[in-house]
Structure 1
Amino acid sequence: MAAALSCCALSADVVFDGFDAQGEAVGRPHPSPHIQLAAVSQDQTDNTMSLVLAMLREGPAADAIPGLDVGLTRVRTRTGRLEPVTASAPSREGQRLTDAILDEPHLWVTSNGGIRLAATLRRNLGKMGGRSLETTNAWTPGEESVAEQTAAYADKIAEGSAVDVGLMRYHPQAHVKNLGDPTELRAGLADLYADAPWVDVDRVMAEVYDLGTHPADARRFYLNQVVTAEDGLVAPVDWDACRIDERLAEGDRIVLGFDGSIREDATVLIACRISDRLFVPLGIWERPDGPAGDGWEVDREAVDEAVHTAFTRYEVLAFFADVEHWESYIDGWTRTYRERLLVKASVREPIAWDMRGRLQQSTLANERLVAAVADGKVRHTGDPRLRRQVLNARRRPNRYGVSFGKDRRGSKNKVDAWAGCLLADMARHELEASGRARPVDRKVVVFR
């Protein structure tokens, strides 16, 4: 497909040119097309270039494209050209580029020049109103490849936290919870490859079950899934399996978890419904990317209003909030709502929970929640912001077990939503253990 689109960009009617009398869109060729097939090595550019050369040599292209000159390593027409480029080539800043194919961008990282090459291509395309296409396998989380960064950008557009610049993402996956179940695996593969009848599903299954195939590789290369990083806390397939199409209803009995920051990290307010462990973000405030993030601080009044709205709309029975940076607000919430809370965050504090000084309790609670996700014992609504931050969390072993943290110190990949879920889940656990979570059956007896 990438090869065919490259041939079209060279001479076909690909530039919008208004509408005809019937209202149908019409196009025209670009007056001076310049197409680049980009990769981080010459061998990878051959993946697409070899097909381009075959298409132009073996079909009627010579009769249809004026001045077509198909060489060994490039294609020219009277007004345009098509060529492969690699990250090892000299800087191409300022070229009048109209189209680019970025092949295997899951391999484009800083160390091999891929990040710089992608940035240069996009700048050149932007000046010409050009278009790019990324053709990739599933990336490895944490490598910060071009493909991973593009997917993160698409996620933020879907969340509404980034400007939609016309990015289209097409990422079909085989949804298979248990690779060891041949029936489930076959059904997932048959659905994934339904439009590729040349793929032998039996052969793919044989490769998946080959003892030399790591399960993570099987999911990446055969199921097209983005698998957990080696130190990832929660597997994407486990989290996605817990999604339900349901929302909180007014008056639902819930607990709250709060993790706050001021500038760098995110601030989150997470609700957990007591009856079925449904996690719902009532607010996630993050520093915007780009220039909009300069000098940004969380809107503390908006956060405060979200807490009061939660107590108005739902029956809140417990509320655990990490105290760092938010002591004065937590004191205010405590004064207002302490009488409505059935369990306390600590012996002295109804709401305040200091995660810095209670490592053992938070570690055990973290292990309990991770196991619940893997066993399908929790629920969520599919919120993309919550999903992103949950999957950002990494395993951090300590003397008590496995806690969580960022992928590295100072990382922009936030994990605060997982912290909010953890605090809410601890509140729910304490409430259940206290026996106070059961609704009171009030009976009135009348004597005459």
Structure 2
Amino acid sequence: MSKGPEYTIPPRTQTLGYLAMWWIEHHCVVPDGDNAGASFVPSLDHRVYMANWYRVKPTAKPGERAAAFVYRIGLWVAAQKVGKSPGVAAETCLEFVGPSLYDGRAVEGEMYICPWSGCPCMDDPYFYEAGEPRGKPWATPRIQLAAVVEDQVENTWGALVPMIDDGPLANVIPKTGEAFIRHPNKNRDSRTEIVTSKADGKLGARISAGKCDETGLWNESNSMKKFERNLRRGAGGMGGRVSHSSNPYDPAENSVLQDQMESQLPDILKHHFPPPAALEFKKKADRLQIFRWNYASSPWVDIRTVEAEAVALMETSPAEAERFYGNRIVAGSGTWMDMARWTLTGLDGLEGRPEPITVSARTKVTLGFDGSDNNDHTGIRLETLDGYQFTPTYGPDNNRKTYWKPADWQGRIPHAEVNAAVDQIATEFEIVRAYCDPMFWETDIDNWGAKYGEKVFLKWATNRISAMHASLERFRTDVYNPDAQFTHDADPDVAVHMRNAIIRARNVDKLTGLRQYILGKPADHQKFDLTMSSVLAHEARMDAIADGALDVPADNYVYF
């Protein structure tokens, strides 16, 4: 097991990040503490983030702003106390008066020329590599530091002001203020300022950069989702970019950060390196390993202090403690699946786990189907008789997942696509049992039964509380139990749906005296249909085995 994150770092010829790091070290100072006034050196984790955040497209042209960069939105997600606030303050200085715009490619021997006369950085100039992106400052930048309330952004603002006043930037920016900092070009609109949900009159302004603080707390209830959309529109109007810094989010709170982390858009940088899933936050020995992982590049952090604060928080909010100090996306009360255990049973080639299995044709499988019409999602999961669960694919090139969202199909689930997928699955594999939730799909399931066997394709209503509760308990038990030999393909969409599912208590079973439950979702957009498909596929497998599906030797699998 690795002792720290394994980063991917682009070379100098692909990013402005190396120039950005040099500039920060030569212009920004440590804002407080024993080393106040010393050169500010970004942590390793922050340097990796910046190297990727400032990656330049191979096709970038001089004069392009946001369009020159690979990423439009940046997410720096890390544990409490790693230094995100002073890091963001240093980025703000760079975006305000430093070389944060693409300015073509350098030739061998070329160096960055600081536009601020007399700047001491020229005593140690930055020489570009041949082909490295050149940088230049914005002519009229406007930066907004955004948070729910002013107290929240104070950590960044409180680091920004002394970072300027107590170092070389004091000669560039002669005056800082309590509410905004004016740019040395004296342009009325060139400034760095605070914007909050309580005073959002500045929203809508054309901005060169938006720095969003703790977006794991931004949601609909505090009006911050609309706030963030307005901020992005302001950046888009000027060719600016928006970055977030936050602790991991609570999946039950439907936050802006969750929306961005779960987005499939390729222009969102997701810089989040949680500790290995095998380490349990509840165990002190594991917890110390987690802290060493999270704070590997933060030598100023005393792990003993973090441990004391985490233990105190665990008394009242263990999930919050694991998010803040464990750097994990953990739901609060009511969550159904322990995501660390779900991750451990997945095959994805990470943390020493084997690669996903390629299941050979005509393998015996069971099928789980949970469908919708025009609101929830629809998905199919398969499970082999020896307990490997996966999302099959279909289509002319066999590259479409059996997972459908109304938004991708003109607002409705495409029955023709689902039927084509079932036909292809039935041709490729031997389905020994399929459990299908019949709501909205009665006729389709009847047709599948007519084609492939009425004793194979069975209607399994998920609104039966006793039956559903028993299936949920069996599935979760087998996921948690290492002797159950359950594994899965680590499908990221399924992981999101597992994380979304929360427990909804129902009546007490008269025979056992235990309170039963079903699953629900924290918010309407947080779907868990693939969770239901997974549970149904597993229930079908266990019932098929009980009915003798293993009496005939199962086909061999081909593993790659």
When residues 107 and 326 of structure 1 are mapped into structure 2, their CA distance, relative to the original with a 3 A threshold, is: closer
Among 102, 105, 108, the alignment partner of 2:215 is 105
**2:260 aligned partner:** 150
Q: Which runs of 5+ in 1 are unaligned?
A: 158-162, 345-349, 443-448
Matched, 1:15 2:106: no
Contact 2:281–2:290, Cα closer than 8 Å, also in 1: no
Residues 406-425 of structure 1 aligned to structure 2 (within 5 Å): 406-407=521-522, 411-425=524-538
SS at match of 1:297: coil
- The structure 2 residue matched to 1:178, chosen from 280, 287, 299, is 280
- Residues 367 and 402 in structure 1, CA contact (< 8 A), matched pair in contact too: no
Partner of 2:492: 384
1:170 positional shift: 0.9
Give yes or no for contact 2:249–2:255 (8 Å, CA) kept in 1: yes
Q: Does residue 57 of the first structure (1) align with residue 165 of the second (2)?
A: yes
Query: Take 1:147 and 1:187, find their aligned partners in 2: how far apart are those partners?
Result: 26
* C-alpha spacing 1:364/1:193, structure 2 compared with 1 (3 Å): same
2:392–2:425 Cα contact (<8 Å) kept:
no
**Mapping 1:346-361, distance limit 5 Å:** 350-355=456-461, 358-361=464-467
Separation of aligned partners in 2, 1:439 and 1:188: 46
The answer to whether residue 353 in structure 2 is matched with residue 240 in structure 1 is no
Answer whether contact 1:392 1:415 (CA < 8 A) is retained: yes
Q: Please state how far the C-alpha of 1:277 moved relative to its aligned partner.
A: 4.1
Equivalent residue letter for 1:395:
I
Deviation larger for 237-246 or 203-212: 203-212
Q: Secondary structure at the match of 1:168?
A: strand
CA distance in 1, matches of 2:304, 2:208: 42
For residues 39-69 of structure 1, give each alpha carbon's deviation from its aligned partner in whole angstroms, at most 9, with x where no partner exists: 1222222211111111111111133x3x642
- Residue 314 of structure 1 is matched in structure 2 by 429
1:18 counterpart SS class? strand
Shift of residue 23 of structure 1?
A: 1.9
Instruction: Say whether 1:374 aligns with 2:476.
Output: no
User: Counterpart of 1:160?
Assistant: none
Match of 1:258 in 2: 369
Residue matched to 2:323: 220
CA-CA distance at 1:213 after TM superposition: 5.4
Query: CA, structure 1 residues 441+36, in 2 after alignment: closer, same or farther (shift >3 Å)?
Result: closer
The correspondence for 1:364, drawn from 451, 454, 470, is: 470
1:435 is matched with which residue? Answer: 548
CA gap of 1:207–1:77, structure 2 versus 1, over 3 A, is closer
CA separation in 2, counterparts of 1:285 and 1:270? 12
TM-score by length of 1: 0.86
**Matching residue's letter, 1:233:** W
Seen in structure 2, the aligned counterparts of structure 1 residues 255 and 439 have a Cα distance that, compared at 3 Å, is: same
| Structure 2 gap segments, 5+ residues each | 1-86, 108-129, 348-354, 394-401, 510-515, 556-560
SS in structure 2 at match of 1:133: strand
The equivalent position to 1:43 in structure 2, one of 128, 143, 151, is 151
Query: How far 1:110 moved relative to its partner?
Result: 3.4
Match of 2:17 in 1: none
Q: Which amino acid aligns with 1:42?
A: E
Residue 337 of structure 1 deviates from its aligned partner by 1.7
| Other-structure match for 1:120 | 230
- Aligned match of 1:85 in 174, 195, 200? 195
Report the CA distance shift for 1:439/1:385 in structure 2 as closer, same or farther (over 3 A): same
**Residue 69 of structure 1, aligned match among 175, 181, 184:** 175
Question: What is the CA distance between 1:14 and its match in structure 2?
Answer: 1.0
Contact 1:92–1:120 (CA<8 Å) still a contact in 2?
A: no
CA distance in 2, matches of 1:9, 1:263: 44
Distance 1:58 1:138, change over 3 A: same
Q: Partner of 2:120 in structure 1?
A: none
Secondary structure of the 1:23 match is coil
User: How many matched pairs?
Assistant: 416
User: TM-score under structure 2 normalisation?
Assistant: 0.69
- Once residues 316 and 252 of structure 2 are traced to their aligned partners in structure 1, the CA distance between those partners, rounded to angstroms, is 21
RMSD over aligned CA atoms reads: 2.4
Query: Which of 287, 292, 295 is the equivalent residue of 2:406?
Result: 287
Sequence identity percentage: 28
The code of the aligned residue for 1:406 comes to K
Distance 1:235 1:228, change over 3 A: farther
CA deviations 1:165-187 (Å, max 9, x no partner) are x2111112123542343333222
